[in-house]
Amino acid sequence: MTPEGLILGAIAVPLGGAALIAAAHRMPDLREGVTLVAAAALFLLVASLAPEVLAGGRPGVHVAEVMPGIALAFRVEPLGMLFALVASGLWIVNSLYSIGYMRGNNEQHQTRYYVCFAAALASTMGIAFAGNLFTLFLFYEALTLVTYPLVTHHGTEEARRAGRLYLALLVGSSIVFLLIAIVWTWQVAGTIDFVRGGILSGKVSNTTMGILLALYVFGIGKAAVMPVHRWLPAAMVAPVPVSALLHAVAVVKAGAFAVVKVVVYVFGVETISGMTSVDWLPFVAGFTIIAASIVALRSDNLKRRLAYSTVSQLSYIVLAAALLTPLSIIGAALHIATHALGKITLFFAAGAIYTAAHKTEVSQLAGIGRRMPWTMGAFAIGSLSMIGLPPAAGFVSKWYILSGAMATGQWGAVAVLVAGTLLSAGYLLPIVYRAFFLSPAASHGHHEEHGEAPLTMVIAVSVSALGTVALFFFPEALLALSRQLAGVG
């Protein structure tokens, strides 16, 4: 298939899958089969694009001219390729996990769930392959709307309130800040295409550059830079596979991806290095990293702790991008992938614990490692990745970010990164310790007899944990894409 066909197929396949899933409403096994087939097909399509991009090609498709000069168009570049590979690959694992979770917990409205999931993946592919700011914005909004039913899945009052906050913050930030940033960019630059080296050089003053960057960073609410982050812990009310999707695969990574893409392709790294008006970004990112980690430390609810961990880790990517050096840009891109794998593992484990043992608080988890060794083993690997220790993938991306910071003498960033590492150790390692080395009597809540989680969930969590380790040993493909993004080799 031609590259153009592959790009369009990447959007059409999940959408078509969504339609088929809806049609298979009454046949659950067939319906789940459609999801898995769609996920596998999507990954194959996306992977087929990789060789061309790795060789330096940048395939694109022009779909329609919506307004004069503003088109719905796609263009694949290294960062988008990386994001798409991560998202489509993890959809397969997540779908397997969903089957176990939804059936194990007897969830309602499963068809709606799988349909929205597929639509969310289609939107994610649209974001990954967007060739200009308008296309990015279109699929970004679509992603918010399509994940809303997923967040409010349980239909309870709490879910409804969380949904409102989710929508208010994400739609609000994107319409009020991001849209203005995009129209303003269009007006001063005459184009909103993504171009290597940026489209704003020489067109705007120093102050305007700073204001525009602020509008973008706070407008891309999915990147959860404080204070636009509250939607993330609120969204924990959703079923765990949704949280895994939100935190690892689609929504948050779409935000971080968009921030990096805007910095590299709209502003241009060379254009804004040295501009004083963008100096605030590393500080904002650094603050988010530390503050979110502290909140994570103080949260007893496991999902909430992981949510704030994500807020913190996303700002690693933002900070890395803000450091504006090739090494840190490589780290930012890689971190999109490594955090995705690590976090999805952690969430899978959290869901497995909930399904098997009905436990949600960290204080309840004493000794659980004995009953659920696979789950907690995977959790341990995910924790290593978050902290950034070998042999987990997180080590690779953190290495690059740290190197970038040290190479340009940005010691404040180094300090933040080190502090962040220590804090993440502080909120993750105790869980592992508690699970394996404390006896069940030390935990709160009553103890039931329970075993491991359902098989599909265990398979999924093991696969993602394995992936985390594998990425540490074999990062070549993703590393090559990241290097192309940063413009080195």
Partner 1 sequence: MISSHLPILLVVVPLIAAPVMVILRSGTAAWILAIAVSWTALAIAGVLFAQVAGGGTISYFLGSWPAPWGIEYRVDRVNAYLALLVGVIAAAVSIYSPRSILSEVEPGRRYLFYTMYALCLSGLLGIAVTGDAFNLFVFLEISSLSSYVLIALGRDRRALVAAYQYLVMGTIGATFYVIGVGMLYLATGTLNLSDMAERLPRVTEPRAVLAALAFITVGVSLKLALFPLHLWLPNAYAYAPSAVTAFLAATATKVSVYVLLRYYYSVFGGGAVFLALPMAEILLVFSLAAMFIASTVAIFQDDVKRMFAYSSVAQIGYITLGVALASATGLTAGLVHVFNHALTKGALFLLLGGIALRAGAMRLGSLGGIGRVMPLTCFGIVVGGLSLIGIPATVGFVSKWYLVQAALERGSLSIAFAVVASSLLALVYVWRFVEVAYFREPDAKVAALREAPVSMLVPAWALVAACVYFGIDTDLTLGGAAAAAEQLLLGAK
* Six token digits for residue 417: 């990164």
Q: Which of 43, 114, 117, 134 binds partner 1 (CB under 8 A)?
A: 134
What is the footprint of partner 1 within residues 60-89 (CB under 8 A)?
Answer: 64, 66-68, 70, 72
Backbone angles phi, psi at 108, to 5 degrees: -85, 170
Assess contact for 288 and 315: CB atoms under 8 A. Answer: yes
Q: How far is the CB of 232 from partner 1 (least distance, A)?
A: 19
Q: Which of 12, 41, 167, 477 binds partner 1 (CB under 8 A)?
A: 167
CA distances from residue 224 to 128, 234, 410 in whole angstroms, order as listed: 18, 12, 23
Give the x/- contact pattern for partner 1 in 175-214, rule: CB under 8 A.
Answer: xx--xx--xx-xx---------------------------
Nearer to partner 1 by C-beta: 164 or 447?
164
SS3 at position 358: coil
Assess contact for 310 and 250: CB atoms under 8 A. Answer: no
Q: Does 152 bind partner 1 (CB under 8 A)?
A: yes
Nearer to partner 1 by C-beta: 93 or 200?
200
Q: Does 12 bind partner 1 (CB under 8 A)?
A: no
Query: How many other C-beta atoms are found inside a 10 Å radius of the C-beta of residue 409?
Result: 9
CA atoms 271, 273, 279, 281: torsion sign:
positive
* Six token digits for residue 60: 């694109």
Look-up: residue for tokens 């009953």? 371
Nearer to partner 1 by C-beta: 37 or 142?
142
Measure the CA–CA gap between 376 and 432, rounded to whole angstroms: 7
Nearer to partner 1 by C-beta: 43 or 148?
148
Q: Which of 171, 297, 429, 477 binds partner 1 (CB under 8 A)?
A: 171
Among the residue ranges 43-51, 116-124, 136-144, 401-409, the one whose residues contact partner 1 (CB under 8 A): 136-144
CA atoms within 13 A on the CB side of 54: 13
Q: How far is the CB of 184 from partner 1 (least distance, A)?
A: 6
* Six token digits for residue 286: 């650094």
Neighbouring-strand partners of residue 130: 74
Measure the CA–CA gap between 73 and 61, rounded to whole angstroms: 6
Q: Does 489 bind partner 1 (CB under 8 A)?
A: no
Q: Does 470 bind partner 1 (CB under 8 A)?
A: no
Q: Does 19 bind partner 1 (CB under 8 A)?
A: no
Residues that bind partner 1 (CB under 8 A): 64, 66-68, 70, 72, 134, 137-138, 141-142, 145, 152, 155, 160, 164, 167-168, 171-172, 175-176, 179-180, 183-184, 186-187
